[in-house]
Structure 1
Amino acid sequence: MNTRSKEWLLGALMLLLIGAMTASLFFDAPYDYAQEYLGDTPLITGLVYTLLVFLTTVVAPLAALPLAPAVSVIIGPFFTALASIIGWTLGAIAAFLIARHAGRPLLEKFVDLRKIKKYEAYIPEHNIFVWLVVLRMIVPVDVLSYAIGLLSSIRLPIYALATFVGVVPFSFILSYGGNALIEGDLPLFMSIGALGVLVFLVVVYG
């Protein structure tokens, strides 16, 4: 992984941490939203949340992130993580296929092509699997899903596997960390956050 890619990934991690700290100030809002619109029945909540994660992955990346900790209170952090993994992985695959096969006219309906071109320089020529896994450990989905499908030659099975491997730790850290914060267990929240940062640093710089 080249230096430029490492710097970009580190910057993405810092933005994610800042965003998480900011969102933590408003946890009552997503929790109330989850109860009102996703319901308080665990099965229904899990299914609706999974569908919402999938849809927002394709058309509005990251929009479902603030809901994960709130949903974890209703269905538990373990099942929230599983729902996030399914929704993010399937959504990322859908975005990849749209970029790879649908053509630019349809692609423009989902994402700004100028943003895709901006990210072209950050896609490495070698070790793209490792780079993609690390990227998904920080931010599960974003415009790069489209950029990779459009600009890289990575095959779908490899892309899907890298996405799945990357979103698994992110999903569990987000679900359990967010749940700990909502429940007021600050020591557990800090421990989970520190573990996530440590894993990232080992993978990128180890």
Structure 2
Amino acid sequence: MKKVFTKRNIIIFIIVVGLIFIFWSSSLLQGYFQDATVFLQNYGAAHPYISILIFVGLSMLSAMLISFSSVWLVPAAVVLWNNHFTITLLLSSWLLGAVFSYLIGRYGGYPLVKKFVNASKVAYYEKMVTEKFGAGLIFLLRLTLPSEIPGYLLGIVRYSFVKYFIITFLAELPYAIYSVYAIDSIIEKKPTTFAVAAIIWFMAAWLLTYLYYKKIKKGADNRE
């Protein structure tokens, strides 16, 4: 539990909630947002395919780069399209990014690692991940770590692509749904929906972190 409810995370949460309430209560910020909404809707109507390509491309990069997040793109997407279409685009983009990061790890990272790490050591970790790490642990890994890390890591150890893709889909789907509806609740000023979304996020974060570390500890005890 302490892994989730740290002082840093609590401060970040308070700041985010504070900014959201400032946005809801400020007519000036609401006006700026409405102007931005009109601009985005006009641009999307004039360039529908380019808008989709830009969103998909940037969201895909967010699944491959640690320093870039697609959460800032979701408000624009929610304004341009309905929630279901945004979820479809977001999920598809993340899956494309996950596939590319896996392929980079497998065909670029693996040969590079072999040059600097003893071949037997590489084979040991590859066997440990592919044989000893069950699908459940890999799934928790995808849920708890930043999305761009497992793709490269599992590609380097040559984890089964089919299993990786299925696990990635199952892990990213709830995130895509949650992100879109949480952002929509902020835009549409739905405090009850936002509060429920925040509670769900904290409960899920605690549960996933608990299960992940429990699984890791159990695996370490078994190896001993």
TM category (shorter chain) comes to: 0.5 to 0.7
Number of the residue aligned with 1:81: 87
Partner of 2:181: 176
Gaps in structure 1 of 5+ consecutive residues = 1-5, 108-120
Equivalences for 1:123-138 in 2 at 5 Å?
A: 125=129, 126-137=132-143
**Structure whose alpha-carbon radius of gyration is higher:** 2
Name the CA shift for 1:104/1:135 in 2 (closer, same or farther; >3 Å).
Answer: closer
What are the superposed Cα offsets for residues 145-196 of structure 1, whole Å, 9 maximum, x if unpaired?
212221x342111111111100000010011001101221111011123223
Pair 1:50-2:56 in alignment: yes
Q: Which runs of 5+ in 2 are unaligned?
A: 24-28, 114-124, 212-224
Question: Taking structure 1 as reference, are residues 35 and 82 closer, same or farther at Cα in structure 2, changes over 3 Å only?
Answer: farther
> What are the equivalent positions in structure 2 for 1:1-206 lying under 5 Å apart?
10=4, 18=12, 22=16, 25=19, 32=36, 39-41=43-45, 43-44=48-49, 45-59=51-65, 62-103=68-109, 125=129, 126-137=132-143, 141-150=147-156, 152-202=157-207, 205=210
8 A contact 2:143–2:171 mirrored in 1: yes
* Separation (CA, whole Å) in 2 of partners of 1:99 and 1:23: 37
Identity of aligned residues (%): 20
| TM-score, normalised by the number of residues in structure 2 | 0.62
CA RMSD in angstroms comes to 4.3
Q: Are 2:75 and 2:183, in contact at CA under 8 Å, matched by a contact in 1?
A: yes
When the two structures are aligned, how many residues end up with a matched partner?
Answer: 183
CA change 1:19–1:93 in 2 (3 A) is farther
AA matched with 1:195: I
**After superposition, what is the alpha-carbon deviation per residue over 1:101-158, rounded to whole angstroms, capped at 9, x for unaligned?**
1246889xxxxxxxxxxxxx9xx854453234334445662233212221x3421111
**Residues 16 and 139 in structure 1, CA contact (< 8 A), matched pair in contact too:** no
Q: TM-score, normalised by structure 1?
A: 0.66
